[in-house]
A and B are shown apart, each in its own frame.
Chain A
Amino acid sequence: MIGFVRQRSRPGLSVGIVILLLTLLFVSSPKRTEAGSAEQGSVLSGSLIESTRPIDSRGLSTWRTSRLRSPSGILYPYPHKPMPWSGESYQLRSLVDFGFVLNSGEASEAAFRKYADLSDGFLLRRFLVEGQRTEDGRYFEVGGGSVGRSDQFFYGEIGRRGLFSLRGRFDAVEHVGIDDARILFEGVGSQELTLPSPLVPGRNLQSDVSAALVGVGQTQLSQKREQSELQMRVTLHPRLTLIGDYGFRKRQGERPFGGTLGMRFARTTGGSFAETIAPEESDTHEFSAGLEYASPKMQANLRYRGSIYDNQNSSLTWENPFSASERGNPASPTAVAGPPRGRSALAPDNQLHQVSSDVGIHLPLRGRFTTHASWTRMTQNQRLLPATINPLLTNFDTLSRSRGDARVDQLLVQSKLRFRPASAVNVDFGFRYSMRDNDTNYLSLNPASGQFGYVTEDESLTTRYGAAAFSAQRLRVSGAVDWRFAKRSRVGIRYRHNSTRRENRAREEVRDDNFRLHVSTAAIPHTQLRASYTFQKRSGSNYSAARDSRYYEATGPGRPARTGGPSRSLRSFRQFDLSSHDNHNVDLRANWLIGPSVDLALAAHLELRDYHTSYGITGTRIAEVNLDTSIQLSPQLTAHGFASYEWRDRRMATINGAIGLGQSTDFTAGSRRYPLSNRWTWDSNFRGMTLGVGLTATPLPRVALRADYRFQRSNEDIDTAFDRSGGALPPSTDPATARSRFPSLSQTDHLLDASASYAWTDTITTRAFYRYQYSTIRDFHQRGLQPVVNQNLFLGHVDDDYSVHVVGATWQFRY
């Protein structure tokens, strides 16, 4: 058990870590930089090959008359003509694609611009210069796209084929979150938000704040992310590769945040909330290095990865726009002053260090043993802010420690053993152990006074002993058998047992038993079928909401007496991630090769989960069906279409506690604390449909047309059920008129992308493009939203409908 006060004996462990790192001095490999297949891009740049090379009408083969399909039956697309090289030994090829973009409509809407820059103006859509020396494989490559726009990207690579490569990348994106924020505060972008005159912190009425917002225009809040990366890959030996990677990520901008000074719900007295704006300015350094070894009999990877997050802003202070209470008379001098300001800590600087290894060994009987092990340490040692910014409480001016001193260690060991007792039979065994150890142990203690507690919302003192640290251990064992019963056909069964032990959660141990039956077959003519059924049963130890109560309760001298209810009150309420349940999963994928150039594919997923509880999430249902068709009649004409339907249901039941019963400790359903008349349920039903069609055509030798259209509609309805004579509703609501169903949360989208290009010569192409985007969002959280709502200040953001036409043209020159 992790104790409350513990002397850390770290020196031995630290020495061990240093030795481990020294042992692995040469070794590490980033998980994410393995001879990257990821292509950089933007909305306007498109994929490199598709946007720069025409389809080759000759196809892939002179000899085959039928279309080529993958082993699973998927049609391979028609090839693109390779770009020719100029020169003999030293070869070069290049292209530049530039033009302009124009748009009309609601192009300033945040949802339209969220991650894309489709603004009017010049467009350097793509550029690329490649060179190579054929006699020894040396090469270089420089390229990029959407140059000068907020989603621009660049890359460059040099190397020698099969020996080494050095690649640099830069990528930018702007996340436009809000375009219609009405901001009361001054100092946006800094760590201090102040009120404009004549507002006085903590002493204004709602009418004063509303008056101050008159004439305030709309402001955009966005964050820019710029990411640079340098990747190196060196073949030290035909079987040994060294990999190194350094990445730098910078985020800048502002984002909506929040700040509360007392709770201000409908009809409560005292307190206010303000939707503030937090500055975002952070740097993240990522570095990794590794070795990869591969021989016919054995493979191994060793890796180190490090990440350092550095936030330039440590806190956000805001001045309270409202008084604590207006006492029912907006103009009354009896309004109660509220705290003048509040201060929140922003994300602390942190570090991560990870070492990991993978080993794979071929065994006799076509067997194989693989193992993965990793150890991770995450730390944070930020200087802590004072308990409060307001000088209302002077007896909490010292903390149990001055810095975060937070540390989480994680360990994962996973091994698999496969052997083949018969030529068509595989037998697999698996073992997995993972551990998360939180060694932070923060105490809410003022060592000067011996008082336990913390300052609630910069206003008052609340008792609390310390922070619950969440640690866990997971152990999984598995066994599987599969049998190849026909050519490219396999059926198998797998069993897994998983045991998770957690500290400070309501259930000490959770056990999962998982059975999976799967089949994959090409034995049915003109068909590839994959199907699986998984049954999971979750059980575990007794559930007790009070397992972390020691962080709230007093059991010895100097610890505060308990006030209020336990951390999770209703005895029979079950948190869904711990709750016992049965889960059924069915997955189906079928490809029908219905013609030499036509595919039809069906993908379906069904998940049914029943929780064994009366309160909490009681059940979820997910079903997804997708139908796809691909028609490749000729290099001059291909088409595709898809239809998708999705539904998700989620149900929950709970009981609203009765108010004003003092220290009653009977928290069972049906008690005075939780009368059944206060029971209510919530039912969420989501339905989504998507349709899409696309066409690529070359009607004339130098003319290429392309069009893609997608329609998407979704709707979520939330229904509640409750006893109107009971106490499920808060005091602010009139039971007689309370409706049960919320307005639908819905979205409708149309997206059309079309282009036409004409190749004047083999090296010059003109392309015209058109894009139409239409979107409506109805979110009841934004319904009727104004900046001032009952002593709560909002930015007033509402997702508006938008309809935007984008047109443009580019000229592409290839050399």
Chain B
Amino acid sequence: MKIFKKVAFVGAYVSFLVAASLVLACVALDDPSGPTQSDTEDSYVSESPTDFSAEPQRTYLGQAVCEGCHALAAEHWGDTVHAKVFLQNPRTLAEKRGCEACHGPGSEHIVEPTNPARIISFTRDSPLAVEQMNGACLECHSGGARIAWAGSAHEVDELSCSDCHNPMNRISEKGLLREATVRDTCFSCHPQQRVQFRKRSHMPLFEGKIDCDDCHQPHGSATDPLLRADSSFELCTSCHSDKRGPFIWEHAPVTEGCVSCHLPHGSNRDSLLVTSPPFLCQQCHAQLGVQNHPIALQTPGNLASSSVPGRRDVRLIGRGCVNCHVQIHGSNHPSGARFHR
């Protein structure tokens, strides 16, 4: 097993070197003209998913022609980051196209403006497949987190870029989202999280201190829940670094992932717990001990409100087991074997 681990590590290290070499080689050999190139500035033949090569040759008309009919759309678009880049500091041939950078050459569109097949469009009415619409966006935005897009949960579910983004209008402060905030965009399809963030203990989403994309990478990631990290433990401890350890005494469920005991969005119990103590701990602990205290059944008669003072039991009061096992995420005390210290 150790040899296997070493081989895996060496393999990963070699992959880094190979990847680094490929990057540097590509940079050295690359033509900086831009992601879409053509021999002439006035023609367009694409090999991308938005390939209209079966159509007659289309030509670019220029932004001013588009604005002649679409002045209102241009006014709204003008406030977006795309417009600011395209109009103020275009660096590639595609960026200089303006509207036609995304919508493709408009020569056929002005001949038949009501035919949606004559221009690249990104709404429900578009005749294009989702993959073709996304391909137009990915021509410029293929890097970064979109590397993991193919095969990701959203891609497999036929989600289009324009399901979450509206580049024609600035509704959100950043990101050209469809709604005013990241959370409102996500809640369109994930409404249950809207409920969870309002529960008794919750992450401060509605208080404006966190948003869905602080923890999730909707464009794709190495995890099924599209986390911005390789595991829930790594993600949560990026903010809750005091729980990261490593501790000399580890608690097994912590190493498996924070979701062993916590609900990540909100819970009706304190501290975003999956269920209430002592039951939370009794899900895993059935050992004997002093008075078999991990596994004894507590009843309402053991609450702090019990009429018999001698029956009030600390395991049911306040934070339950964590009253005493306070270092439940792990202990760095030489005597912390039971997470008391």
Contact = CB atoms under 8 A, between A and B. Distances in A.
A56 interface: yes
B181 A47 contact: yes
Sort chain B's interface into a size bin.
35 or more
5 contacts: A82-B170, A238-B33, A266-B312, A344-B333, A455-B334
Interface in A258-313: 258-260, 263-268, 273, 275, 282, 284, 286, 291-296, 298-302, 307, 309, 311
A171 B88 contact: no
A61 B72 contact: yes
Interface string B30-51: 1011111000000000001000
From B73, B253, B313, name the one whose CB has the most chain A CB atoms within 10 angstroms.
Answer: B313
Given A82-B76, A385-B333, A655-B286, A603 B191 contact: yes
B284 A615 contact: no
B157 to A, nearest CB: 5
A644 B191 contact: yes
Interface in B244-278: 244-250, 252-253, 255-256, 260, 268-270, 275-277
A80 B171 contact: yes
A525 to B, nearest CB: 12
A160 B9 CA distance: 41
A728 interface: yes
Q: Which of A347, A414, A464, A467 has the most CB of B within 10 A?
A: A347
Interface in A353-368: 355, 357-360, 368
Contacts, number: 656
B139 A16 contact: no
A472 B255 CA distance: 9
A742 B303 CA distance: 9
A286 B157 CA distance: 35
Interface string B187-212: 01111101100111000101111010
A783 interface: yes
Secondary structure type dominating chain B contacts: loop
A82 B332 contact: no
A355 B341 contact: no
Given A418-B150, A789-B312, 4 more contacts: A237-B32, A298-B26, A350-B244, A487-B129
A131 interface: no
Interface stretch (A183-191, A699-707, A710-718): A710-718
Given A265-B293, A646-B192, A237 B157 contact: no
A790 B304 CA distance: 10
Contacts of A731: 291
Nearest to B18: A359
Q: Which 10 A-B pairs have the closest CB atoms?
A: A37-B175, A784-B305, A294-B143, A41-B208, A137-B89, A137-B88, A258-B326, A347-B242, A82-B79, A345-B333
Contacts of A74: 163, 178, 188
Nearest to B145: A34
B248 A442 contact: yes
A428 B151 contact: yes
Contacts of B291: 263, 265, 268, 659, 730-731
A612 interface: no
Interface in B218-251: 222, 228-231, 234, 237-239, 241-250
B268 A714 contact: yes
A392 B205 CA distance: 49
A570 B250 CA distance: 22
A273 B323 contact: yes
A238 B246 contact: no
Contacts of B231: 410, 434
Nearest to A661: B288
A790 B192 contact: no
Contact of B279 (A69, A408, A718): A718
Interface in A39-79: 39-43, 45, 47-50, 56, 58-63, 68-74, 76-77, 79
Nearest to B94: A238
A411 B9 contact: yes
B331 to A, nearest CB: 7
Interface in A374-407: 374-376, 378-380, 382, 384-388, 399, 404, 406-407
Contacts of A433: 8
A468 to B, nearest CB: 7
Interface in A784-811: 784-786, 789-790, 792, 794-795, 797, 799
Given A344-B333, A734-B301, A132 B147 contact: no
A373 B12 contact: yes
B310 A267 contact: yes
Given A263-B290, A301-B143, A733-B302, A37 B206 contact: no
